[in-house]
Amino acid sequence: MTSEPASLPGPAPLPIVWTIAGSDSGGGAGIQADLKTFQALGVHGCSVITALTAQNTQRMVRIEHTAPGMIEAQLLALQEDLPPAAIKIGMLGSAAAIQVVAGFLQQRDTYVVCDPVMMATQGGSLLDPGAYSTFREGLLPRVDLLTPNLAEAGSLLGLVMDTVAEVEQGARDLLALGPKSVLIKGGHGHGPLSRDYWTDGRRAFWINSPRLATSSTHGGGCTLSAAIAAGWANGLTELDAVVLGKAYINHGLRHAQPVGHGRNPLAHGTWPDHPADLPWLALPGEEAFQTLEFPNPGKLPLGLYPVVDRASWIERLLALGVDLIQLRAKDLTGPALEAEVRQAIEVGRRAGARVYINDHWELALRHGAYGVHLGQDDLPAADLAALAQAGLRLGLSAHGYAEVARAHKMRPSYIALGTLFESPSKTFAHQPLGLPAFTRLRKLIAEPVVAIGGITVERAPDVLRAGADGLAVISDLTRAADLGGRVKQWQSLWRST
């Protein structure tokens, strides 16, 4: 008797994202742009078509709205078999369409991104004048993220927004209409920066990128909201998804190809993959441009980067030939902490080594440390200008797209990116990135990158291939039965690579 072959585990199901929007016969915006974006970002796209448009890259010729009953039939058919992890809403066109969609969403708890499409790029209104009140009162309270451009935000509020203060107040006024968060897009503005403003009422950031000299912007708003929905479906936080969306737009603008004889659409096809795609985040009131730049982390490669809690560990590791070490003394305070920091700095200075001090930037500055490593929560209180002026190196932690974009504004000496794997040495509130996500994020970072979280010498080759310049290690060394032997394994690894 022959046994049945063992069944292999199948691939994980793709996240599903719906787009509820109009069809662009020219292929640059609407349903077509959304589906291209979903495909590029690794989600399965479904469509509910609310209108047919006859248009090309030069002009809008004709629009026919889908019957409300047909919109509802599409929604119910998809819900029966393909329930979404996120929904993107674009052009709705009429009050009747808005009522159908709002009624459908009222009974569901799905994340919703709404791009309030009101005007076509080529000219012409895409939302009936009588539908504005239905949109504001019926749909907006059921939206998680609203993504108007400056003109659309002004139309919804009945005002014009030209200044930074007006945009920030406009976002607060839009939140009062019901959405949980707002992203006001500045791509149609002026000046050297394309500046978007995001807030959920508790936090707020300006999302900045250099304004690119291109006319290939058709479908930009559709694509951004679709990319955010795809990011959410892939497990990102909203702010991470917004930064991913901005990077995807920048990538599409940089790679756009001529199509037709009018305004060209963005390019689609891949995750953003170059530092030029990454925006930077500034808090309200901060200078939009990068104002600081820290020294590079030294002439030698970063390589092995042990993180230890006592200066005595630093002495042991220096004796074994380790050149780059971080003191992370979380359990000390007061004079004991200062004495430990001072000893670590002095030991490193005598050996000509690169010793970073975790968190305690004032002590590092006072005693002349080689460098400081800070988490994102430490940034508001830290005097970064004083650190830069003193010539200290700066390392910053980042766990996702938003924190990488925030670190990018500071121009640190390196970025520590993780957690990569589950770590026995530290508990994190966020899920491990894993190698695929780490690889995608690393491509966006111009600075050297230190991988952190659950890294061992056995895992190191894969992490290096994923793009890491240095590997932060805690338990792989501090819990080693033979510290000298383990360090030799690491040194052998670096020689072989």
By annotation, the residues acting in catalysis are 328, 397, 426
What span, in angstroms and rounded, lies between the C-alpha atoms of 301 and 66? 60
Query: Which of 371, 360, 355, 359 minimizes the C-alpha distance to 338?
Result: 360
Q: In the numeric block, which tokens belong to residue 67?
A: 């019957």
